[in-house]
Structure 1
């Protein structure tokens, strides 16, 4: 059949269906997620209306008719798959097929898309289609690309992690402002922790009849890998926050992870305090899914200093693939922030003198190699000149003291 004949047949079918065209399947809301597909579909409303009235454009009518027919077929298949689902012990492979078919049924539904644009899926992330649309938006609008660029560009990999798999958004907000990953922030802005949200796109555990949106426990870590190490003249990791056993599911995207009612706080919030003379500090936020078989061990974390993230993951039988979300900000010392940084050292670290001031470490000390013969002769000559100058100054000081003493003695009165 020629393309011309196909076109005429489509237009003829559209004309026949024009009067009885029903966009109800298109207007129907997306059903609940594959996990929530264990429940019945719900209806929703949207401001979407067809762009053209029926009959104004046969091609437009034919397109809507095609979308409606395609959706009806997909929904019929979906119902058949759901009928095969064992609600008490669902098959993971079958759940994945249901998820995929549900997305296929509603991905091109103009009502669903309009509703998602208007609400962002807020309050309805139990639906597979909303989570799929949110993940696609995060990827296509550059959210994931920007995050991965900053994480790799700023050497979070390999400094503290061997690699970073694609993750879910871990969003930081100060007031009403969204914080861009890797941006510079004033330390005083984090006197209290920012609002931190995580939106999971996939169920952390298998759904069941009793739990359509199952939860899993997570750990939140905030690490500064640029804390100065006095002994090694290098840097070590310092923990600024640690909380375990945070229950999260796909519908927990609006929960603030710093909420005191969630999880078990092991180490309370310590504000950033980049010291004078040190480079910019990276403050890395990590959300890690805990092992279902055991709670994480924190007994070895006796202080915030000299933390080792890789050792912590190994100890708790975790890997970088268990990372759910990551974000980071940077901060550095400035004269305007000096008072706040000193107050953090005094109030949170117990250092009465405030924050230390660091200078540039000599190369010989930094890299641990001996000085060249020429450099050593120069250093010896400099030290000899310095000692001679000090001796001369001490001699001059003695002479001055003697002169002052003679001047202060009272003159003897002649008899």
Structure 2
């Protein structure tokens, strides 16, 4: 049989950061006066409370906090990885030489006396494909785009950002909400976005804020189709865009509410909250967008009391050229015909542009918008109250 050997437990001494010092024997203690003098002498050691250092989290990588890319493996650790990089670099050199040839062909086509637009367009498309393919396989390029350090002046970075927007769910969520809530066809006959529009509004203020220490206003991104309160949308939103074309193009900013009651016709009509034509956008445009409240100024959403939720649709419509659109008065905002407006100025949302939407219902803040901004009486809708058949009984004594 196997005999189990017993080990004598060792006495373990644990030292805590806030433990008190062990008191020496009474014979070793100095007099009180001597002890106070010793503590008052310079250079004397006094017991101090140890502080525990908190582990700091590494900040996220972004364009504001960039970080250099480092190889995941050193040379020679994995020969297959080194050989793959050599193949990628060799292929990139060949493609870049072809890029130079296509650029020279484009210059010759532009300088030709009889310029063929169809040939020129095909050459530009081929140039874009070659610029993307010459750098898309580099690990460093993909790593920077994935960590928010894309250089939008490069065709390959624009392509990867657009691919991420189209395939990772942001565009799918937008189009799902657009069709679920019938923005198409209630507002537009068709919609195919070609650029990403992100909307941010202030968060709902917390009840913990006081007048002495007010909380800092914090903006958060609005998910398409979500509910906001009118108190959040008093001021214009901050608009962030991801544009995937290098050249500057013109867009018209339009924000409408298609759910305003029309009592005369027993239906709904559209109200224009915001209109700004000739917005210049390119891949290098700063975000958030600036100077977009000079044409038809922003009026905050004001869903009427007694109505269901309102849809607030924000559009960036592509223009073919510079447009001269007259400003809308407060009276012309109500009853706006979006389809006639699109047809008159040649807008077509089926070939590109941007879109976003959210929803709101009535709250107490709407009354202030009507009195202070619109300066009209607040309408109230809903079913009329039924007459109470037992009102006379409620006013009389029940037990007499």
The TM-score normalised by the length of structure 1 is 0.67
Question: Is 1:356 aligned to residue 379 of structure 2?
Answer: yes
| Contact 2:318 2:348 (C-alpha < 8 Å) held by counterparts | no
Q: CA deviation at 1:217?
A: 2.1
**What does 1:238-253 correspond to in 2, within 5 Å?**
238-252=271-285
User: Distance in 2 between the 1:188 and 1:320 partners?
Assistant: 31
User: Distance in 1 between the 2:122 and 2:228 partners?
Assistant: 45
| Contact 2:193 2:350 (C-alpha < 8 Å) held by counterparts | no
User: Distance in 1 between the 2:325 and 2:130 partners?
Assistant: 41
**Hey, what does 1:184 align to over in structure 2?**
227
Hey, which of these two has a bigger chunk of helix by percent?
1
**Hey, what does 1:234 align to over in structure 2?**
267
| Contact 1:67 1:108 (C-alpha < 8 Å) held by counterparts | yes
| Contact 1:242 1:268 (C-alpha < 8 Å) held by counterparts | yes
Q: CA deviation at 1:243?
A: 0.9
Root-mean-square deviation (CA), in Å? 2.9
**What does 1:1-400 correspond to in 2, within 5 Å?**
47-86=68-107, 89=110, 91-121=120-150, 124-174=151-201, 175-203=218-246, 214-252=247-285, 254-257=286-289, 259-260=290-291, 262=292, 265-292=294-321, 295-298=323-326, 303-321=332-350, 323-333=352-362, 337-338=363-364, 340-351=365-376, 353=377, 355-360=378-383
| Contact 2:317 2:354 (C-alpha < 8 Å) held by counterparts | yes
Secondary structure at the counterpart of residue 162 of structure 1: coil
**Hey, what does 1:36 align to over in structure 2?**
none
User: Distance in 1 between the 2:108 and 2:225 partners?
Assistant: 44
Secondary structure at the counterpart of residue 326 of structure 1: strand
The TM-score normalised by the length of structure 2 is 0.69
CA deviation profile, 1:161-191 (whole Å, cap 9, x unmatched): 1111133111111244111111101111011
Q: CA deviation at 1:360?
A: 3.1
Q: Which runs of 5+ in 1 are unaligned?
A: 1-44, 204-213, 363-381, 390-415
| Contact 1:187 1:341 (C-alpha < 8 Å) held by counterparts | yes
| Contact 1:290 1:296 (C-alpha < 8 Å) held by counterparts | no
Q: Which runs of 5+ in 2 are unaligned?
A: 1-65, 112-119, 202-217, 391-400
| Contact 2:303 2:310 (C-alpha < 8 Å) held by counterparts | yes
Distance 1:344-1:299 versus aligned 2 partners, 3 A rule: closer
Secondary structure at the counterpart of residue 341 of structure 2: helix
Q: How many aligned residue pairs are there?
A: 302
**Hey, what does 1:10 align to over in structure 2?**
none
User: Distance in 1 between the 2:109 and 2:96 partners?
Assistant: 23
